[in-house]
Amino acid sequence: MMTRGLMIGAALTLAACTTGGARSFDDPAVQKLFNMSTPEYYANLTLANRITQNCARYTYDAALDSSLNEARNEVGRGSLSANSQRVGIELETDVSRRSFEVKHGVDVTSDDLCAAGDAEVLEGSGLSALLIPV
């Protein structure tokens, strides 16, 4: 248990050091977000927002969100294409939310999501790129 705590602490420290604002597009987690389909991308934005709303240890990286949206718009996968994919985005968001809840054993609407956020950071998921440790 002590080892896991040290690993989480090290991951959070590393994330804090590499996140002086928006993360670099060279970051593997950012690349995962950039390469996602539009519905999958917006589902991850929603989950990252939920984590930051239900965990005081993280804030949402709005600067990265904005930069990614601009870059994704240039390749036809940003907010400009999202309106035509609204139904797909809603469906993917629901599926991703349920999967996230099962994976982490949480309810995203009411539970403390700090442990889930920590696990995503340790995993280096695309969603974790949007989490800034406080």
**DSSP per position, 18-42:** T-SSSPPTTSHHHHHHHHS-HHHHH
pLDDT band for position 92 (cuts 50, 70, 90): very high
Nearest to 68 by CA among 53, 48, 54: 48
User: pTM of the predicted model, to two decimals?
Assistant: 0.82
Judge whether residue 5 has pLDDT over 50: no
**Can you tell me the distance from the alpha carbon of 45 to that of 37, in angstroms, rounded to the nearest whole number?**
12
> For 105-130, what is each residue's pLDDT tens digit?
999 999 999 999 999 999 999 999 99
Mean confidence (pLDDT) of the chain: 87
> For 48-88, what is each residue's pLDDT tens digit?
999 999 999 999 999 999 999 999 999 999 898 898 999 99
| Parent domain of 106 | 2-133
For 15-22, what is the mean pLDDT? 47
Number of domains in the chain: 1
